[in-house]
Amino acid sequence: MTSKKLVNTVAGCADDALAGLVACNPSLQLLHGHRVALRSDLDSLKGRVALLSGGGSGHEPAHAGFIGKGMLTGVIAGAVFTSPAVGSILAAIRAVAQAGTVGTLLIVKNYTGDRLNFGLAREQAQAEGIPVEMVVIGDDSAFTVLKKAGRRGLCGTVLIHKVAGALAEAGVGLEEITKRVSAVAQAMGTLGVSLSSCSVPGSRPTFELAADEVELGLGIHGEAGVRRIKMASADEIVTLMLDHMTASSNVSHVPVRAGSSVVLMVNNLGGLSFLELGIIADAAVRALEGRGVKIARALVGTFMSALEMPGISLTLLLVDEPLLKLIDAETTASAWPNVAKVPVTGRKRSRAAPAEPLEASVSTTAGGLTSKRVVLVLERVCATLLGLEDHLNALDRAAGDGDCGTTHSRAARAIQGWLKEGPPPASPTQLLSKLSLLLLEKMGGSSGALYGLFLTAAAQPLKAKTDLPAWSAAMDAGLEAMQKYGKAAPGDRTMLDSLWAAGQELQAWKSPGASLFQVLTKAVQSAEAAAEATKNMEAGAGRASYISSARLDQPDPGAVAAAAVLRAILEALQSPGV
């Protein structure tokens, strides 16, 4: 079965993609009749060296995203994963020559088709009297034994674009640029790893991986790598990659050792989430610095992809100060990141959090809580929520991401950890305030924010008194805050439905002689009934409001969780010895 792609036609997808980039970037132009993009200010390059690169499409933003002042003059694109046509390469060379450039450097990734087609175009251009040189970039560090074809050209090629572009912008001649970038290319290495393959438009995935496997040392055309390894943590994968890239026994290694200064490039191969990319970047920085390697610059993003491949590549380039100046030189290329011109290593990465204000002493009047009672109640609540994790997640899948149980379990574990640190405050105000801060920080999601709001507001009426009417007022204050900021109302199929029903029953505490347990029991029963009733409600707030009511035939998980918390509180308070 072929993969789904958002294209107009398979045959025209490369043309459409390049046209889209040019349409949105006034500094680029297409060369009529060819799949070629050029700087729109070619005339400004008179007397300078032109830089042309390219290859198959499907590697976006490479190569056209790196056209601009201080980088490439133009690119020639082939069909997806296919070398560009000789005629188009030659047309691009002629176009920049006619603009008055003094020579052209072709920057070519080391693949047979690219070498042949760019090489043939170079020979023809030279026969026409156009000065043209060519550098072939092979930065792949996957192969421990050198193949006849040499090292493949990977994401490190982008760094060559940058160095060559800075030199050309500075007015350096063709021969000198060729010599210098050839030397730079020998001081870098790249290694990729992927969780699965990619698929060319109109085709099936290029290879298959088991659920517990990842591919190490793969190229950028969907081809398999040098070996398959078992799925592991990000830290373990990065360590394995760096070990492989820098091992002296590997003929294609990059000689990075303690004391080396490098540019680190963390490249998304196309389908990795930005969350995972950040985790990989952090792991790479920690691993390199742990080996005594100085990271002079770090580039993180998508630079050279392989369509939608969910993987990454790491590139290491050994640098000194003169080379760093070329990396730091200004460029208008749209895909080059805004990199800080300061070293990564040695920078302070955190600052102390502001100190919390000293708590005012709050007297514990009648109705105050003993630490033992608080601990027993909270432990019962935590155990209840942990036991409901799978059930709440199952209920939540009908309305979206299925993490309600996970969120509440996270809160329960945070409370359990807090209780181990020492006895909780006996003051109801301080207790609710502490729980609010804890849930806001640890629980996450809208549930954490709503419970935090509820507890913060509920703590205020308990500053002066802690009798039953004050607890009823606390419930009112918490519900009011939830409605004010959460924008939900009773009947909207949210956690508020359970809490609102309980709050209505707790109004009875405001009457003289009201019974703690009789009223609380009725409140819990009302909350449970309200939670069950949410399965017949149409969602008016929260993520479930975006789902058709016809698909919501189960109770709202937030309402179920809130009712369960109230039941746990009641049962804990009724336990012997509390």
For the annotated binding site for substrate, the residues are 56-59, 109, 114
Q: How far is residue 575's CA from residue 257's CA, in Å, rounded to a whole number?
A: 64
Q: Per the residue annotation, which of 34, 63, 161, 221 is the catalytic one? A: 221
Pairing status of strand 103-109 against strand 188-194: unpaired
Contact indicator for 315, 267 with CB cutoff of 8 Å: yes
> Under 8 Å CB-to-CB from 221, ≥6 apart: which residues?
56, 58, 81, 111, 206, 306
Helices then strands (H, E): number in the chain?
A: 17, 12
Q: Is the backbone of residue 544 left (phi > 0), alpha (psi -120 to 50) or beta? A: alpha
Q: Tell me, letter by letter, the H, E, C secondary structure of 202-237.
A: CCCCCCCCCCCEEEECCCCCCCCCCEEEECCCHHHH
Question: What are the DSSP calls for 385-412, one per residue?
Answer: HHHTHHHHHHHHTTTSS--HHHHHHHHH
Map tokens 């804990």 to a residue: 572
Q: At residue 328, what is the residue type?
A: D
Tally of residues, the chain: 578
Contact indicator for 193, 237 with CB cutoff of 8 Å: yes
The string over 186-225, giving b where at least 16 C-beta atoms fall within 10 Å of a residue's C-beta and e elsewhere, is ebbbbbbbbbbbbbbbeeebbbebeeeebbbbbbbbbebb
Alpha helices in 272-361 (DSSP H): 274-290, 321-328
Q: Which of 395, 384, 306, 298 is nearest to 345 (CA)?
A: 298
Contact indicator for 133, 179 with CB cutoff of 8 Å: no
How many CA atoms does the CB half-sphere of 138 hold within 13 Å? 18
* Residue 161 bears catalytic tag: no
User: Crossing angle for the helix pair 495-506 and 516-533, nearest 10 degrees?
Assistant: 150
Q: What is the DSSP letter of 510?
A: G
Question: Catalytic site residues?
Answer: 221
